[in-house]
Amino acid sequence: MNESVRLSETGTLASALTSSSNGYGIPQCVAIHVNAMAVGTSEGVVLVAASEYSPEMEVDHSLDTIVALGNDDSKNSGTNGKQAPVTVLCFHKSGQRIMVGRNNGVLQLWDIQKQMMLKTISEHQFPIAHIVYLDQRDDTAVTADHSGLVLLHSFSPSIFNRVSVSTSCLLDGKKLGPILAISPLRVEDSAVDPMDLVRSNDGSRTSTATAIATAAATWCELLCLCTAKEALLIRLTPQLSVVHKWHRDATTSSEDRSAQLVRDGALPSIAWRRSFQDADAINAASGLAAHKPQIAIGWGRICRLFDVDAASLSSPSVKRADVSFLCEWQLDIDEVAGILWIEEQLLAAMNVRGIVYLLDPITRSQLSILELPEGVVYHSSFTNSYGNLECSIQNSYGVRGGAMYVLTTSMMYRLRLMPWKDALETAVETYGWPRGVSLALALYAGEPIKSTVSGLPRDLGTLKSTMTSFLSDFILKIVQQLLGSVHPGDESRVTELRA
């Protein structure tokens, strides 16, 4: 395993899950926010814990307080006066609200701090499979159930601190069948990074609202949906239209070989990512196009990466997306069950048994393999063309920055890329100062090795500015330690220092 990857339990929330007397039931699904995380259970309870992520700290800052939502009787409950089991969770961008999907098709919007249900939606009749927010303000969401019904919900404030909702049907499920995976392209995933736009050319700062508006003008609302046989790239505005299709067996090589790697009935997984916007040399060397979002599709034992020219689709006259194949990985595992981007640098692919592969899109290599102590929580509500149940872990993992969180049958684990400062210190302590200095200079030069650590800016100029002060102190500290270890007459040590 890569030395810069650490596996640990998640503290307060993990303790709550492992308590035998909690009465919360079995963990079912997880949602991750930059300031919180939540787990839904078989007893219909949603456990929310405050947990702050920092790119510069290896350990999350968690509070001891656990908020339990839905642990009392409700008019929207399931049988025996209890809430129906939770199947999917999705945080509002603010982290103050969370949308809950249940096994009986009920959707609920909760205010976490007030522990109050703001809205109940009962349009679905089957278990909720997916919930995603679409826009920057998170007032529009898409939900899908296991029948294939896909609904669009628009939320607005109402009286008494409640919300009103307008719901419309995007897909009825009759033609495409169940939606097995879903992922939107949001403003922060688009070609323009709003945080980059906050800094104007002269170094002054503009308002975040202006930056977001500028970014939104360069793309349209895109949604990628996966069915049993193909992935569809759908443009939502000005009207619903399919702008690209990926067939399940499509590959750069022969279809016969692909069929052997993609089993009929295998569940797909998808994840959007921004391309690197730093060193042009890195982009040129790797073939990755700058300033374009990318989409990874995992199907069977294959993970593929594509460029998507989302900006061109902002024009209604453009009917088809410009999509180009970048690379693929063939994995030596039974099947890829889930994929996600860790700090938008590494692609993590995992199977139901808890084996995780870390894939580097720049070097197009496989960096490391990690096996969790136990299997990932899964649902078996999807059936394949033969009528057999398929295991889905789509709602059992999440990511924030350089940390990936996976829900297993009795615990939630965190796979964390080490912060770059900690990685340098560890390299010196473990392998000696030559390895530490070599790693530091490689990171400073923006070499692909930086994808194995977290907390470094994508822009090469900002990266060097961030590292300069620390790097000077880091090397000076090493020199002082080495000079302190030199004794009179130790000619070999002096020769080593001069080198």
- For 214-224, the pLDDT digits (tens) are 444 444 678 99
Provide the 10 A C-beta neighbour count for residue 434. Answer: 13
Does the pLDDT of residue 211 top 70, yes or no?
Answer: no
pLDDT grade for 12, boundaries at 50, 70 and 90: low
**Region 155-160: what's the mean pLDDT?**
82
Report pLDDT for 65.
Answer: 77
pLDDT grade for 163, boundaries at 50, 70 and 90: confident
Query: Looking at the whole model, is its pTM more than 0.85?
Result: no
**Region 340-368: what's the mean pLDDT?**
87
Report pLDDT for 252.
Answer: 43
Report pLDDT for 427.
Answer: 83
Please name every residue paired with 62 in a beta bridge, in sequence order, or none if there are none: 51
Cβ(43)–Cβ(86) under 8 Å? no
**Region 11-35: what's the mean pLDDT?**
73
Nearest to 483 by CA among 418, 433, 448, 440: 433
Cα separation, 17 vs 33, in Å, equals 18
Does the pLDDT of residue 381 top 70, yes or no?
Answer: yes
Q: What would you measure as the largest C-alpha separation in the chain, in angstroms?
A: 85
Report pLDDT for 266.
Answer: 86
Is the previous residue joined to 178 through a cis bond, with omega within 30 degrees of 0? no
pLDDT grade for 393, boundaries at 50, 70 and 90: very high
Phi-psi category of 95—alpha, beta or left, where left has phi over 0 and alpha has psi -120 to 50?
left
Q: Are strands 323-330 and 36-41 parallel, antiparallel or unpaired?
A: unpaired
Report pLDDT for 412.
Answer: 83
Does the pLDDT of residue 165 top 80, yes or no?
Answer: yes
User: DSSP 3-state helix, strand, coil percentages of the chain (rounded to 5)?
Assistant: 20, 40, 40
The one-character DSSP state at 454 is: B
Beta-sheet strands, E only, within 22-60 = 27-33, 36-41, 46-52
Burial annotation 259-271 (CB, 10 A radius, 16+ → b, else e): eebbbebbbbbbb
Does the pLDDT of residue 61 top 60, yes or no?
Answer: yes
Q: CA dihedral in degrees (312, 313, 318, 319; nearest 10)?
A: 140
Does the pLDDT of residue 78 top 60, yes or no?
Answer: no
